[in-house]
Amino acid sequence: MRFRDPQIEMAHGAGGKASRRLVEGLFAPLLFESAGAPLGDAAHVRMDGSCVAITTDSFVVKPLKFPGGSIGELAVNGTMNDLAVSGAKGQAMVVTFVLEEGLPTSVLESEVRAMSAALHKAGVAMVGGDTKVVERGKADLMYITTTGIGHLMPQVTIDTRSVRPGDKILLSGPIGDHGITILLARGELDLAADLSSDTRCVLPLIEAMVGEAGPGIRWMRDPTRGGVATSLNELARDCGLGIVLSEEEIPLRDEVRGACELLGLDPLHIANEGQFLVVVAPEYADFALNALHRTEGGEDAFIIGEVRPEPACAVLVTTRTDGRSSPSLSRMVKSLKPWHGADSTSIPAM
């Protein structure tokens, strides 16, 4: 469907339906050669017989530093994670800095150091870059774009079309930490919580899981903007199947839950930076889960739901309260929609 919105609004960058409309209605038909294939986190390119994955991401975050991370560290890990959930191990990266006139060098240097540390930790090389400076007021201190390229892990194929009813949905850890941390770090709300962003490189976790359950892994995604709800709704739409989650299995810190209750947000819509979702064949589910549990940082992974034949293209959540003890009562169910873009509280986009 052609993109008909008359102008670009914040929602087009929020990762929800409006973003998807822009990409599928304008960018894909004019720019992408194989517009028919579902759009993943990274593209696969065949060169001289071997296949590589490539992806790019821009980072605009306010404030630049927040509990648990900063823009420089996000710029490396975010792109590494997009490669990792595409089943690829990042090998090299290039970077573009858009800097605002007047940016203190100390601020820039601190972010470059954060990038360097993240590169080192992830085992990936930065091999080039570009710098632009714009007039004061034309950018919010700094924007960073990184592009990463990597080898595909041979044991795993990520394809929404391989998803089958009965497959399990696995989540790597507690959700919402990043989005709520940023929201609080902006200082616009009189709220404080002992919370830090979950930003990290998820490659070691994914490698461990692929090592033990590679052939059973059908699909992965890092639920960043728009959160778990948006990622799973896209999956449901792409594979034409239903996804049923169990609310009580979804790991969630009390601080995040409390902030969401106060602000009227749904944690399933909140951005994450260091978590990923996996669809895994049922016979491999325990292997995948155990592999994560044994790896540092994967202790809180859970199976949170499964794929069903019905209802097609929708995500449902069974709420905590069920009617087990009475046969006259059915379990309470709600359906879950993707993030509609900016709402009562604007959720950080990155």
- Binding region for other proteins (CB under 8 A): 7-11, 16-18, 168-169, 188-189, 242, 244-246, 249, 254, 257-258, 261, 264, 302-306, 308, 310-311, 314, 316, 318-326, 328-337, 340-346
Report, in Å, the least distance between residue 69 CB and other proteins: 24
- Strand (E) positions, 185-342? 217-221, 242-246, 277-280, 302-308, 315-318, 333-336
Nearer to other proteins, 125 or 333 (CB): 333
Closest distance to other proteins from the beta carbon of 227 (Å): 14
Separation in Å, CA 253 to CA 179, 228, 290: 13, 15, 22
* Cis previous bond, 223, omega within 30: no
Please say which residue, 101 or 310, places its beta carbon nearer to other proteins. Answer: 310
Based on CB atoms, which residue is closest to other proteins, 167 or 198?
167
Q: Which is nearer to other proteins, 99 or 252 (CB)?
A: 252
Q: Are 151 and 91 in contact (CB under 8 A)?
A: yes
Which is it for strands 277-280 and 315-318: parallel, antiparallel or unpaired? unpaired
Backbone φ and ψ for 23, nearest 5 degrees, come out as -65, -50
Residue with tokens 């499964």: 306
Give min distance, CB of 174 to other proteins, in A.
Answer: 15
Secondary structure of residue 91 in the 3-state scheme: strand
For other proteins, the closer of residues 194 and 296 by Cβ is 194
Closest approach, Cβ 258 to other proteins, in A, equals 6
110 exposure class (CB count in 10 Å sphere: 0-12, 13-18, 19+): middle
| Residue with the two structure tokens 């509609």 | 340
Shortest distance, position 320 Cβ to other proteins, whole Å: 6
Task: Decide: residue 241, CB within 10 A, 0-12 exposed, 13-18 middle, 19+ buried.
Answer: buried
CB of 247 to other proteins, least distance (A): 10
Cα–Cα distance measured from residue 198 to residue 103, given in angstroms and rounded to the nearest whole number: 27
- Amino acid identity, residue 347? I
Task: State the nearest-atom distance from the C-beta of 147 to other proteins, in Å.
Answer: 28
Identify which of residues 104 and 264 has a Cβ nearer to other proteins in the complex.
264
- The answer to whether 97 and 132 have CB atoms below 8 angstroms apart is yes
- For residue 93, the cross-strand partners are 126, 148
270: nearest Cα among 9, 16, 8: 16
Residues linked to residue 92 through DSSP beta bridges, in sequence order? 125, 149
Least separation in angstroms between residue 49's CB and other proteins is 41
Instruction: Pick the closer one to other proteins by CB: 102 or 323.
Output: 323
Nearer to other proteins, 10 or 51 (CB): 10
